[in-house]
Amino acid sequence: MGRLVKVFGAVGFLFSAATNTLILGMITAIYALFTYPISILLRGVAWIKLFRESGDKYYMATGIATLILGMLVFTMFLPSSDTLGIWGDRDGLETLAIPIFIWTIYSLFELRAYYRLRIYTRMFTIAQVSIVGIIIVLMIVFGMPDTRAETLVYGVPPLLLSSITAAAGFLKLDLEKDIGESGES
C-alpha cells in the first residue's frame, strides 16, 4: 500500500483531532480556522488516493464529498458578522444549522468509509464512534430548542476519539491483507 495514502490520511485525521481539541475552548476555537482546512484537504486527498489504490469508487466519492463540502463549511465559518457572535445564544445555533447539515453529509460519507475499512484494521471499527458525536451535534442544533451554542462541545469527545483512531487506522492500513470470505467491498 502506498505510503502517501497512509501519511495523508493519518496527518489529515490528526489535524482533525487538533480541530476538535481547539473548538473546546472559547479562546482557542479561532485557531481551528487554520487546522480545519488542512485536515479537509489532506483527508480528501487520502480518500481519493485510497480509491486509486483499491479501485473502490466509494473512496473517490468520499474524497470528493470531503473536499467540496468540507471547504464549503470552512468558507461558512470565515469571520463575518454572522459567525463572530454565534457563541452565547440560541441564534448562534440557527447560524450553524446549514454548515452543520453540510458537515453531517460528508461526515456520514467518512463513517461509511470507516465501516468499509474495518476489515483491514480494528481502528476503523473504533473510528465509527463518530456517529455518536454526529447524533449529539444534530440533536443540539435541530432538536433542542432551548440549547445554547456552547453545548456543541458535548459532541466533541466521540469525534476526537474517532479522529485519533482513524489516523491510527490509516497508519495500519494494508489493503493487501488477506481478509478471507468475510470481507466486503
In degrees, rounded to 5, the angle at the alpha carbon of residue 37 between the alpha carbons of residues 33 and 38 is 115
Answer yes or no: is 182 within a domain.
no
Looking at residues 91-103, what average pLDDT do you find? 78
| Residue 38 pLDDT grade (very low, low, confident, very high; cuts 50, 70, 90) | very high
Answer yes or no: is 185 within a domain.
no
Answer yes or no: is 135 within a domain.
yes
- Domain of 140? 3-174
| Residue 53 pLDDT grade (very low, low, confident, very high; cuts 50, 70, 90) | very high
- Cell numbers that stand for 5 in this block: 495514502
Answer yes or no: is 179 within a domain.
no
3-state DSSP assignment of residue 57: helix
pLDDT for residue 86: 46
pLDDT for residue 26: 75
pLDDT for residue 146: 66
Answer yes or no: is 85 within a domain.
yes
- Residue 61 to residue 151: CA distance in whole angstroms: 31
| Residue 178 pLDDT grade (very low, low, confident, very high; cuts 50, 70, 90) | low
Answer yes or no: is 18 within a domain.
yes
- Cell numbers that stand for 122 in this block: 480494528
Number of C-beta neighbours around residue 37 at 10 A: 18
DSSP 161: H
Split into its structural domains, the chain has a count of 1
Looking at residues 22-44, what average pLDDT do you find? 92
Number of C-beta neighbours around residue 80 at 10 A: 11
Tell me which of 8-12, 84-88, 98-102 is least confident. Answer: 84-88
Is the entire prediction scored with pTM above 0.75? yes
Answer yes or no: is 180 within a domain.
no
Per-residue pLDDT at 180 exceeds 50: no
Average pLDDT, the chain: 86
**Do 150 and 87 contact (CB within 8 A), yes or no?**
yes
Per-residue pLDDT at 39 exceeds 70: yes
Per-residue pLDDT at 56 exceeds 90: yes
Q: Which is more confidently placed, 39 or 179?
A: 39
Answer yes or no: is 79 within a domain.
yes
